[in-house]
Structure 1
Amino acid sequence: MPTIAIISGSPSPSSRLNGVLQSVEAKLKEAGIELEWVHVHQLPPEDLVYTKFDSPSIIEANRIVERAAGVVVATPIYKASYTGVLKAFLDLIPQKGLEGKVILPLAIGGTLAHLLAIDYALKPVLSALGARNQLQGVYALDTQVKRLEEGGFEVSDELAGRLHQAAADLAGEVRLLHGASAVSNPNDEGAATA
């Protein structure tokens, strides 16, 4: 069963980004995908700031990413870029830590002026970490995610449609990748011999 890691790059536990991620999570679970989370704001700040590669928390977070066939990288957009806390974590991922994985970038911001932040700010960094299979990604506006009084979030129908399509694309790509690697491994038992 393929696993997808979700990296939440929000510095705030109450961020509207959570509404975006909950929508994606629901669709991926519906598709039978196992999920593991890295909430960057829950990692020890000193481990991030001082780039402690040997920190148990960082080692475990990197293990989650390493085990995953796909990775969702999600961030609020501040000052036309992804968050500093996300950058601090990405700096701790090994040099080719995203190689061979399907990547889905997600972002949420206050204005359409930052619509291209995924392409110009986030994707190049992910590429430097070995990500060659990056899906288009989804940019959401703050106004499309409503905080509910009783807790939780409500995502607009238009955004939910884009998020569900992106999640379905990710699940499909991960299954293709997972199936292809299982079939093409000549060391597997039962592999055809010449």
Structure 2
Amino acid sequence: MTSRPGTRVAVVVGNPKPRSRTLEAALHVGRELTDGAEPDLVVDLADLGPALLDWSDPTVAGLVEEVGAADLVVVACPTYKGTYTGLLKLFLDRFATDGLHGVAVPLMLGAGPGHALAPELTLRPVLTEIGGIVPAKGLYVLDAAYDDPDAYTHWLGLARPAITAILDSTAGVTS
């Protein structure tokens, strides 16, 4: 995929640990989908803390608006009890049903293969409910392989063509 000027990329991470492996995995996926370009916005939800509970917080409201306007959003989270974290749920609950306007990539990390369907069964539905376009199946990566590029190769080979086609077809279209 060619990095196009004007393509806005956001990464949202719902790991309660700041600067986590989940963040590194999400940044890797974002870069891979944009020929190495750094995302325009990185939201590490652990840094927002109690502000996520305050529905009048202007910082969180601004981040929701920025993420919602992105052309590509990588939404990443560790698998907790078979689903995504409450931290991520608090953030995603802020979006209206048409609040996400771009392509969304559900990414989850987990300790074992037992939860490999979690991105499809738990995260993908909420991303589509808030308006995201999810053209490829969700990505599940084992924690132990988060820093191994080979852990992403197969998924990228399948997902990149669809994501690229959508981003190319919407280039220059304003929401």
| TM-score, with length taken from structure 2 | 0.82
- Note the C-alpha offset of 1:169: 4.9
Greater shift in the superposed pair: 165-174 or 17-26? 165-174
User: For the structure 1 residues 49 and 42, does the alpha-carbon distance in structure 2 shift closer, same or farther, using more than 3 Å as the test?
Assistant: same
User: For the structure 1 residues 83 and 3, does the alpha-carbon distance in structure 2 shift closer, same or farther, using more than 3 Å as the test?
Assistant: same
- Gapped regions of structure 1 (runs ≥ 5): 146-154, 186-194
User: For the structure 1 residues 134 and 90, does the alpha-carbon distance in structure 2 shift closer, same or farther, using more than 3 Å as the test?
Assistant: farther
- Note the C-alpha offset of 1:55: 1.2
Contact 1:24 1:163 in 2 (8 A): no
SS in 2 for 1:19: helix
**In the alignment, which of 71, 74, 94 is matched to residue 72 of structure 1?**
74
Contact 1:11 1:41 in 2 (8 A): yes
Do structure 1's residue 158 and structure 2's residue 150 form an aligned pair?
A: yes
Aligned positions of 1:1-194 closer than 5 A: 1-30=6-35, 35-43=40-48, 45-50=49-54, 52=55, 54-98=56-100, 100-145=101-146, 155-162=147-154, 164-165=156-157, 166=159, 169-179=162-172, 181=173
SS in 2 for 1:13: coil
**Cα deviation per residue 1:109-128 (whole Å; 9 max; x = unaligned)?**
01111011111111121222
Contact 2:12 2:44 in 1 (8 A): yes
Whole-angstrom distance in 2 between the partners of 1:13 and 1:168? 32
- Gapped regions of structure 2 (runs ≥ 5): 1-5
User: For the structure 1 residues 63 and 9, does the alpha-carbon distance in structure 2 shift closer, same or farther, using more than 3 Å as the test?
Assistant: same
- Note the C-alpha offset of 1:130: 2.0
- Note the C-alpha offset of 1:86: 0.2
Moved over 4 A (4+): 31-34, 166-169
Whole-angstrom distance in 1 between the partners of 2:61 and 2:128? 21
Whole-angstrom distance in 2 between the partners of 1:15 and 1:22? 11
Contact 2:22 2:76 in 1 (8 A): yes
Whole-angstrom distance in 1 between the partners of 2:37 and 2:164? 9
| TM-score, with length taken from structure 1 | 0.75
Contact 2:127 2:134 in 1 (8 A): no
- Note the C-alpha offset of 1:82: 0.4
1:66 alignment partner AA:
G
- Note the C-alpha offset of 1:167: 5.6
Q: If you compute each CA radius of gyration, which structure gives the higher value, 1 or 2? A: 1
User: For the structure 1 residues 3 and 111, does the alpha-carbon distance in structure 2 shift closer, same or farther, using more than 3 Å as the test?
Assistant: same
State the identity as a percent.
29
- Note the C-alpha offset of 1:18: 2.4
